Amino acid sequence: MTFLSWLAAPLAMAMAATAQPDVITLPEALAHTLENNFDVALERINVDSAQADIQIAFSEFDPSMEAFLGSRANRSPAASAFSDPEINEADGMTGSLGVSGKTQFGASYKLGLETGLSNTNSSFQSIDPAYETALVLELSQPLLKNAGRDTNTWRLRTGLAGKAIAEGRLRAMLLDAASRTIEAYWELVFARENLKTQNELLEWSRQFEGMVRQKVEAGALARIETIQAQASTAAAEEQAVGAKSELDRRADILLQLMNPAMDSRLWSEPILPGPMPAAPPADSPKRDYMALALANSPELEAARKEVENARVSLGYYENQKLPSLDVVATMRLNGLRGDARPVVDVQTGETRISQLDGSASDSLSDSLSGKYYDYTVGLRLTWPFGGRGDEGRHAKSMRQLQTSVIRLQELEKRVAMEARNARREVVNADERFQAASVARALAEEKLDAEMKKFVAGASTLFNTLQYRQELATQRGRELRAIADCHISRARLDRALGETLQANGLTLDSAVLKR
């Protein structure tokens, strides 16, 4: 058994005998963060809001039904010498039922049924009451302004792109939150291991101080050496207190990121992370990191959708500069029936009976037969003078597109550079670990040899304390290098947009889960 293992044995037994709180794993910490993060929750609301915008855009093409029922009455003086009586009176009811809407190609339509019932006091009216029926079809198709599917679906297309932008921002926010949690977790692991290292140094210093006192009492060392040993112990205590303070600070940072419920045990119990691995994770195979970052970055995905959105809007406002030229058409299929009554021909004196005797259903049958109709087909041109409003909106949309393209180009370079730097950090961290591991192993050998020499009286107290401090320093550097290896890989995963996959999470479970 080496002197190091002999001195560390009491500390290990004391730690084993102490009850420890439950260990929180990295997946558990990530689950808390992704579920409870306020910014993520707000961004999820933005995704839902974008989905509502799509629904609103679709509603533009929803047909609508219109119904009307009313009564009418008219009393007017007779304008004809042949009128009987001299005051014309008419009353009745009118009603309509129709469906109207707009297609994605810009055509507006209305299809309806109009009916009416009229009564009159005119002795020359051959049917009374009369039943009027008409089937009406109205169409309007733009040829220039507001023509075409692209123009009429621009709100829908921008809504779909807006949802993709919101989802990209949500994914970016989740990646950021997960990456920060991973870094905070490994910083907490390092802080805990560093505290253990400082506690081991403190325990060693106390035991070594006892050994020095024994040698002083035996006359093997001068009494002044006790003061130097005490000073070393006091310095170790100070370092242990600082390490404990840093551990508490790192625990609070992770707790803030996880944001558990107020009744969670995490608020009352110490957050205890898992142990530090003896070595960093294995390096991933060589890949084109910049190409992966450009392909997977959620920020770039959102920026590309913003450019697409700007192009769609620009196309719409270009169309709005055109004059309105619409094909309009109206078709009416008419029907008229009623209760026929004899009417005297004022010229011949003969009594005549109308052939339109029938019921309301007969009037509807006449409409459906298509025997009686009228239609109108034409072109309607509207050309506003000036058009400064449309010109201004088009110019503003053009500037928005230019701004979006510039932002996309700048973001592409930044994403590529972040991937480049993140990969370099991974390589540097691995190299630092290799060097720190060798330095720590050599420091252990040097201290073990120096302890043997000190016990034999062939070394000084100063050298022994210096070598023990050097071992603690090298062990801290090795732990720091291991933690940096994990942190640098987390940053590389973030730069490549692979944080979720690297930690066993999917887009559905992390991004869209409610």
Lowest mean pLDDT across 9-23, 125-139, 293-307? 9-23
SS (H, E, C) 267-292: HCCCCEECCCCCCCCCCCCCCCHHHH
Q: What CA–CA distances, in Å, run from 89 to 35, 111, 341, 356?
A: 75, 32, 17, 22
- Domain membership of residue 216 (yes or no) is yes
**What are the phi and psi torsion angles at 380 (to 5°)?**
-120, 120
| pLDDT band with cut points at 50, 70 and 90 for residue 434 | very high
Each residue's pLDDT tens digit, 450-503: 888 877 777 777 788 888 888 888 999 999 999 999 999 999 999 999 888 888
Burial status of residue 176 (CB atoms within 10 A of its CB: 0-12, 13-18, 19 or more): middle
Q: Are residues 454 and 502 in the same domain?
A: yes
DSSP tally for the chain: helices H, then strands E: 13, 10
Q: How many domains does the chain have?
A: 2
Q: Are residues 234 and 96 in the same domain?
A: no
pLDDT greater at residue 205 or residue 300: 300
CATH code of the domain in which 32 resides:
1.20.1600.10
Residues β-bridged to residue 133: 115, 335
Collapse the DSSP code of 95 into the 3-class scheme (helix H, G, I; strand E, B; otherwise coil) and give the result: strand
Q: Are residues 279 and 188 in the same domain?
A: yes
The pLDDT, as a whole number, for residue 144 is 93
Q: Do 471 and 440 meet the contact criterion of CB atoms below 8 Å apart? A: yes
Q: Are residues 93 and 47 in the same domain?
A: no
Residues β-bridged to residue 108: 102, 140
Q: Are residues 30 and 83 in the same domain?
A: no
| pLDDT above 70 coverage of the chain, percent | 91
- Domain membership of residue 178 (yes or no) is yes
In 3D, which of 134, 52, 125, 127 has the Cα closest to residue 363? 134
Q: Do 444 and 197 meet the contact criterion of CB atoms below 8 Å apart? A: no
In 3D, which of 498, 107, 455 has the Cα closest to residue 296? 498
Query: 365-391: buried (b, 16+ CB within 10 Å) or exposed (e) per residue?
Result: ebbeeeeeeeeeeeeeeeeeeeeeebe
The residue-averaged pLDDT of 160-166 equals 92
Which residue has tokens 């071992």? 471
Q: Are residues 239 and 132 in the same domain?
A: no
Reading the block at residue 160, the tokens are 């779909």
Residue ranges making up the domain that contains 377: 65-102+107-145+325-382
Each residue's pLDDT tens digit, 303-344: 999 999 999 999 999 999 999 999 999 999 999 888 888 876
Burial status of residue 510 (CB atoms within 10 A of its CB: 0-12, 13-18, 19 or more): buried
Q: Are residues 257 and 170 in the same domain?
A: yes
Collapse the DSSP code of 138 into the 3-class scheme (helix H, G, I; strand E, B; otherwise coil) and give the result: strand
Please check the confidence at residue 191 and state whether its pLDDT lies above 90. Answer: yes
In 3D, which of 196, 200, 194, 186 has the Cα closest to residue 273? 186
pLDDT greater at residue 181 or residue 344: 181
| pLDDT above 90 coverage of the chain, percent | 51
Please check the confidence at residue 90 and state whether its pLDDT lies above 50. Answer: yes
The pLDDT, as a whole number, for residue 73 is 86
Q: Are residues 248 and 373 in the same domain?
A: no
